[in-house]
């Protein structure tokens, strides 16, 4: 890849909009679609979603766990989701939330960020809570291959504040994560390739959210997050936000036209963030 991830993401958001569609084939959703909770149902679901939405949006976000639960055959479906989504022009943000140390961290990086791997994606989600430095193998591998990372920072799950709002000598744990991102994105244009995961429903935050990188904002749409929330939370950096929704779009299936239209509506809803 000739461009670093931040540049590619910025271009994709300008061309295809700021909406990210999550691909979360959990058991109840397969049943709602009239599919069996097995590999055949998983594959039918995944192919339908990819064919409908990957040509329409800048980013798709498969949740790896919902594929992994079927073992090797489920992972094979995930490999096809990644390849087919990228072939349709979407960037793939693989939601794996990995975080480890040393050679294990490097192995995760090789699995998800090295183009030689069948699971290679444009970016992945990662956890910094073994210390931000534990992510160094992933940061280095991502930059070597023009890929990106989205680091958990201010998540909207009710347990998150127990760790993320804890105080350190210089502020909060979340603030420390954002400071590391700010340092490592310094000088990258038009956008850094190390992003943060910040929930669309976290409420107001006292943290400095300007770290020259993209923000994945899950919880938009059916989970309660609105454009007004995003403007209030992110203010002048709202144009860097990638609001993500799965339920809002996937509930429209299995009709491919309805899925496509839901993705388009999501893009239209968040288009104003580009004017922030």
| Catalytic sites, residue numbers | 97
User: If we measure between CA atoms, which residue out of 82, 69, 10 comes closest to residue 37?
Assistant: 69
C-alpha atoms less than 13 angstroms from C-alpha of 249 in its C-beta half-sphere: 36
Q: Is 80 left (phi over 0), alpha (psi -120 to 50) or beta?
A: alpha
Give the C-alpha separation, 52 to 253, whole Å.
Answer: 10
CB–CB of 266/242 below 8 Å? no
Quickly list DSSP for 11-56.
HHHHHH-S-EEEE---HHHHHHTT--SSHHHHHHHHHHHHHHHTTT
């Amino acid at each position: 890849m000739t461009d670093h991830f931040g540049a590619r993401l910025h271009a994709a958001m300008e061309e295809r909009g700021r909406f990210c569609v999550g691909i979360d084939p959990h058991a109840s959703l397969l049943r709602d679609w009239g599919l069996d909770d097995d590999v055949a149902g998983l594959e039918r679901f995944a192919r339908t979603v990819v064919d409908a939405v990957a040509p329409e949006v800048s980013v798709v976000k498969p949740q790896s766990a919902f594929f992994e639960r079927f073992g090797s055959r489920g992972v094979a479906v995930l490999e096809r989701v990644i390849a087919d989504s990228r072939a349709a022009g979407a960037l793939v943000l693989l939601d794996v939330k990995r975080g480890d140390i040393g050679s294990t961290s490097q192995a995760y990086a090789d699995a998800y960020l090295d183009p030689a791997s069948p699971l290679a994606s444009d970016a992945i989600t990662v956890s910094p809570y073994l210390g931000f430095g534990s992510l160094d193998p992933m940061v280095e591998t991502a930059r070597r291959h023009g890929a990106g990372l989205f680091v958990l920072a201010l998540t909207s799950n009710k347990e998150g504040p127990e760790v993320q709002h804890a105080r350190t000598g210089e502020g909060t744990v979340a603030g420390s994560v954002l400071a590391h991102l700010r340092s490592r994105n310094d000088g990258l244009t038009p956008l850094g390739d190390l992003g943060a995961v910040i929930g669309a429903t976290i409420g107001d935050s006292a943290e400095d959210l300007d770290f020259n990188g993209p923000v994945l904002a899950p919880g938009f749409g059916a989970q309660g997050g609105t454009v007004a929330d995003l403007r209030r939370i992110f203010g002048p950096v709202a144009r860097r936000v990638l609001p993500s929704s799965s339920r809002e779009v996937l509930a429209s299936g299995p009709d491919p036209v309805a899925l496509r239209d839901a993705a388009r509506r999501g893009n239209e809803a968040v288009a104003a963030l580009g004017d922030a």
